[in-house]
Structure formats: C-alpha cells, structure tokens
C-alpha cells in the first residue's frame, strides 16, 4: 500500500498555502491548515510535510513541528519554507532551519516566496518596507545575494509550481 502523506501549512499571505496545495495534488496527500490543528489529526500519517513562510528569520510552523516531533518520534517529518532568501545560499538556509528547530531531524526545502504590499497587514507592511528601504540605501557592492533577492522579489512575486518538483521527488523516493 502506498505511504499516506499529510501536508500541513501555516500561511499569512497565501504563498505556503499555494505550495502546500500543489504538493498535496502532486502526492495525492491530505491537506491541513495548521491553524487550530491537533496532533491527533496527524496520527494516521507516517510522513508529514510542514510548510510556512519565513518572518524575520522565524518559521510560524516551527511550534507545530516541535509538537509533532515530540508526539510522533517515529514519523518522517519534512519542512518546506517560502521566503525571499536566496535559494543558492544553502549555508544560510541550514542555519535558519537549525535555529528554528534545534535537534529535530528533518529534510528541508526552500521555495521562492512572494510579498505583496497591498495585501499585507499594516504591521508587516511597515516592517517589510523598512527592510527593503534600508537595503536600497546600502551601496550595491555591500548587498548580499539574500538582500538582492528580497529587494527584487518585493517588487514582483510570482509563485512557480515547478518549485515543488524536488520535494515531490524526495518524498516519492523514501
């Protein structure tokens, strides 16, 4: 019998939700909104994928993952994140995952996020605009790849369905 997957997301503006939907469709997985989710809802799934955006280096889905790791040490847990962090910076990404989820063994995949100032609640819009305008003031040679990605994606922000392909392949091969 094929393995049963659950995909759980916490999404403020829809990016992680959209990736979770694409992933659930590709895997034939059951999809859950993590807000209000109970651990008992995940009991029957041997493999669970959790996803959220990244907010000032924090992952809103991290506390759910910690609960799942403690309640179900035998399950396979996988994380995906949506954010403006440069995909090519693997070292930065590994640090981010470890600092949010110390000691929890899991695979992690990062997808390009989107940021839409029109839809953002005021507090987030203020923080995002402050971050972007601070970056714009930096001399261009001092900008890291992460900074450039944040500035650039802040002005566009299309999600790409094919981004989930490596995660689908990894799940199918386990």
Ligand X SMILES: Cc1cc2nc3c(=O)[nH]c(=O)nc-3n(C[C@H](O)[C@H](O)[C@H](O)COP(=O)(O)O)c2cc1C
Interface residues with ligand X (CB under 6 A) are: 11-17, 53-57, 82-85, 113-115, 120, 124, 127-128
> At closest approach, how far in Å is the CB of 124 from ligand X?
4
Nearer to ligand X, 16 or 101 (CB): 16
3-state helix, strand, coil in the chain (%, to 5): 45, 20, 35
d(CA 80, CA 54): 10
Nearer to ligand X, 57 or 166 (CB): 57
Which among 104, 32, 20, 29 has a CA at the least distance from the CA of 68? 104
Nearer to ligand X, 46 or 57 (CB): 57
> At closest approach, how far in Å is the CB of 8 from ligand X?
13
Nearer to ligand X, 67 or 124 (CB): 124
What region does 103 belong to: left with phi over 0, alpha with psi -120 to 50, or beta? left
> At closest approach, how far in Å is the CB of 129 from ligand X?
9
> At closest approach, how far in Å is the CB of 163 from ligand X?
12
Element (H, E) at 32: strand 30-33
Question: CB–CB of 160/19 below 8 Å?
Answer: no
């Amino acid at each position: 019998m094929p393995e049963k997957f659950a995909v759980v997301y916490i999404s403020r503006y829809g990016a992680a939700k959209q990736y979770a939907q694409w992933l659930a469709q590709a895997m034939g997985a059951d999809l859950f909104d993590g807000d209000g989710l109970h651990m008992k809802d995940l009991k029957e799934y041997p493999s669970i994928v959790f996803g959220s955006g990244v907010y000032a280096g924090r992952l809103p889905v991290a506390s759910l993952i910690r609960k799942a790791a403690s309640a179900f040490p035998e399950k396979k847990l996988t994380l995906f994140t949506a954010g403006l962090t440069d995909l090519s910076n693997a070292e930065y990404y590994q640090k981010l995952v470890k600092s949010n989820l110390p000691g929890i063994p899991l695979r992690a995949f990062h997808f390009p996020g989107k940021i839409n100032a029109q839809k953002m609640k005021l507090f987030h819009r203020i923080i995002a605009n402050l971050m972007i305008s601070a970056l714009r003031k930096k001399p261009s040679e001092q900008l890291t790849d992460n900074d450039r990605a944040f500035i650039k994606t802040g002005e566009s922000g299309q999600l790409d369905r094919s981004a989930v392909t490596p995660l689908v392949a990894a799940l199918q091969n386990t």
